[in-house]
Structure 1
Amino acid sequence: MRAFACPVCDSFVAFEADHCTECQTALGLHLPSRNMLALDEGAALHAGSRWIRCNQHRTLACNWLTPEAQDPGSPAGHRGRCLAGSLIRREPPADDTLAREKLIPTTVALRRLVFQLADIGLPIEPYWHVDGGLAFDLLSSRSTGEKVIIGHARGVITIDVVESLDDYRESLRVRLGEPYRTMLGHFRHEVGHYYQNVLVETGTGADTYLEECRRLFGDERAGYSEAIDRHYTLGAPAGWEATFISEYATMHPWEDFAECFAHYLHIADTMDTAREAGMVLHADRVRFNAPRDIVALECYDDEPIERMLFDWKWMSLFFNRVNTAMGKNPLYPFEIPEPVVQKLGFVHKVIRDTARRR
């Protein structure tokens, strides 16, 4: 994640901040420029256009800006929302105060996702702009009593906002035997399904990518319902660690791709955050044998996935030690075997090719 600076005093500004804690200037995040803009009476001028606060600033603590001149094609009820907010197709009603409270941290994770997707150059086509476009149903299983299944179908990603509760999410993580489970992780996994569909299976690159995707991940035409039943009855096959990033990835080729896509976003964003913080592993200053200084590159677009993962190996070693020093689980409790390197390389290629074409 990019490190933001106050445009007035140049102090550090957090991703979720709506003002500078040093000089108290009102701020808003301007997605096209990836910068914080100073606001004057709730508005800012950028490149000749006037930008105003998202109308969810107070209700959902959204600090993003939106063009004052709204897209007339956006849903009437969503006009005045920023891009991330406009992708929300369904949400708890205003009188469901419990669910609305959990919607706030859920939308923070959504905005982090949308920022990263825009930053790496992936297309973000809203559901109200094209058929099968990206949409989010952010629902609550706790307040309505209805079962909410996290998943993706025809561009619509469904998320249970109850997962923003640490105790609830952690209980599921332990019960399902998962080493990692976060709200942002859910968003990254599910959007992987969306991009597999629009970039690999049906998009302009399908002729180029589909055969290789099936070779690496398996044939996505295999029965999905049967795969679910098999996975939850028998579990992951013995020795899965040699070819998959997680047990869940073994269930079906779609899940394997989505898990690798999510891990690619995890790795890329964490490395970007470290670089923006000025972190460097100095080989001559550590007690163990390090091959060279490790400095995250500003851009890995023209680098093979092996270069990115080599840097990540050493950086994640540090992050894991920091977490365990605080009595927490390792930050990245995963091993990346060679077959997964190849799968991540495919994700890397699809993302970079797509960004270049755009």
Structure 2
Amino acid sequence: MKTFHCNRCSQLVFFENVRCERCESLLGYVPELAEISAFEDAGEGRWRSLHPGANSALFRQCHNYAVENVCNWMIAADSPDTLCRACQLTRTIPNLATPDNRFYWYRLETAKRRLLYTLAALGLDVPSRQADPEHGLAFEFLEDGGDGSRVVTGHDNGLITLNIAEADDAHREKVRTAMGEPYRTLLGHFRHETGHYYFSQLVENNPRWLEPYRELFGDERADYGEALDAYYRDGAPADWQASSISAYATTHPWEDWAETWAHYMLIVDVLDTATSYGLALLPDDPTEPTLTDRTPVEDASFENLMKRWFPLTYALNSLNRSLGIADGYPFTLAPRVVDKLRFVHRVIAAASDRSQPLQGSAAVAPPPADAHTARLR
């Protein structure tokens, strides 16, 4: 995530901000520019962008921005849409009559928009179900029923369902501890589930990638239900860290891909943020890890990403330990895991149209239907 500034007063602002704290200008994200813009009121529900790249164009707030206060994206003033490109992907929202659900909805949408920003930067923006009813992506944010029925977070043919309880920090931490997971975040859920979606888009029916995928991750034709039962019965192999990014990745080749995809998204997003802020590591001791490279992540080779990633995580974990909190990056990347991450990088690079990073690539096939509880978050 790059840095943003108010176009009226140059104050540093963030991706989620709706108002500049210094000059009080309305702020909104313009996906066509991939920028946060400051706006001035143009009357009749229209707002004039102050961003130099917008040429004073007029915009409207997304309905979920103007009315529901869970969004901050803008729509061209002459567009017939009432929802922004991000909110159009949400097919079912939580029941707002239930206490706290509006807050959970806000958190879900915030995490989803961060995911979409990264996908767009990599040339992997996706169509909504409205634009592509057969292959478009859609989200449902559901809660457990009062009758004891449970909502299972998962992916099925482009429809991603998330249990809104994952937006509750206390609940998510309780589940993380019970599952013995080192890391579980709301954004990680979105990354993981879209990994399943992109497996079908980019790998499943692509002869170029399918066999190399099977060599690295295994044969995805193995029975998923049996694999899931075996994992919950027996757990992961004792040596799982030698070949997998997480214990849950050992469940089935589909899950190995989704966990690896999610981890690649994590790496790209964190490096993009560090690069945008001009973060450098220049230790007095030349034998300690250094970091000076500021190559944009969308232009970087995989080797470049890895060369920068290890020093950054060393510094991140050292800072966390000084604060007395757990490591921010509790992972070890074995050579086999690095090979899998490299494969994800190659697939994305081949599929992306970097000349038009916001246009998105068309889906090529419906993803495999599966229902599972995603684990690495």
Identity across aligned pairs (percent)?
A: 38
Q: Within the alignment, does 1:190 sit opposite 2:188 as a pair?
A: no
Matches within 5 A, 1:17-32: 17-32=17-32
Cα distance between partner residues in 1 of 2:334 and 2:96: 47
- 1:252-331 map, 5 Å: 252-282=252-282, 285-287=283-285, 289-290=287-288, 292-299=290-297, 301-303=299-301, 305-331=302-328
Could you say what the CA RMSD is over the residues aligned between the two structures, in angstroms?
1.9
CA distance in 2, matches of 1:83, 1:53: 12
Q: Is the aligned partner of 1:161 residue 2:164?
A: yes
The one-letter code of the counterpart of 2:158 is G
Counterpart of 2:239 in structure 1 is 239
Q: Distance in 2 between matches of 1:178 and 1:97?
A: 29
How many angstroms does 1:233 deviate by?
A: 0.4
Residue in structure 2 matching 1:107, options 100, 106, 109: 109
CA contact (8 A) 1:294 1:314 kept: no
Alpha-carbon distance in 2 for matches of 1:321, 1:290: 12
Distance 1:142 1:169 in 2: 18
Contact 1:126–1:134 (Cα < 8 Å) also in 2:
yes
Q: How does 1:98-247 map to 2 (within 5 A)?
A: 98-130=100-132, 131-141=134-144, 145-202=148-205, 206-247=206-247
> In structure 1, what is the Cα distance between the partners aligned to 2:229 and 2:78?
49
User: Paired residue for 2:48?
Assistant: 44
**For residue 301 of structure 1, what is the amino acid of its counterpart?**
D
Kept in 2: contact 1:51–1:68 (CA 8 A): yes
- Superposed, 1:49-64 pairs within 5 Å as 50-57=58-65, 58-64=67-73
CA distance in 1, matches of 2:112, 2:207: 31
| CA-to-aligned-CA distance 1:300-355 (integer Å, 9 cap, x gap) | 5352x232112100001111112222222111100111111111111101111111
Check 1:250–1:14 CA distance in 2 against 1; reply closer, same or farther (3 A cut): same
8 Å contact kept, 1:99–1:140: no
Match of 1:68 in 2: 77
How many pairs does the alignment contain?
345
Runs of 5+ unmatched residues, structure 2:
355-360, 362-377
Alignment of 1:77-116 (within 5 A): 79-116=81-118
Does the residue aligned with 1:23 lie in a helix, a strand or coil?
Answer: coil
TM-score w.r.t. the length of structure 1 is 0.91
Deviation digits for residues 104-160 of structure 1 (CA, Å, limit 9, x no counterpart): 111110111111111111031111221131100111227785311011010011111
Would you say the 8 A contact 1:137–1:156 is kept in 2? yes
Distance 1:7 1:144, change over 3 A: farther
Q: For residues 281 and 315 of structure 1, what CA distance do their matches in structure 2 show?
A: 8
Comparing 28-37 with 311-320, greater Cα deviation is found at 28-37
Moved over 6 A (4+): none
Q: Answer yes or no: is the 8 Å Cα contact 2:317–2:327 preserved in 1.
A: yes
Counterpart in the other structure of 1:74: none
For residue 75 of structure 1, what is the aligned residue in structure 2?
none
Contact 1:98 1:143 in 2 (8 A): no
5+ residue gaps in structure 1?
A: 72-78
1:337 paired with 2:337, answer no
Which structure has more RCO (C-alpha within 8 Å, separation ≥ 6)? 2
Task: Please name the residue that 2:364 is paired with.
Answer: none
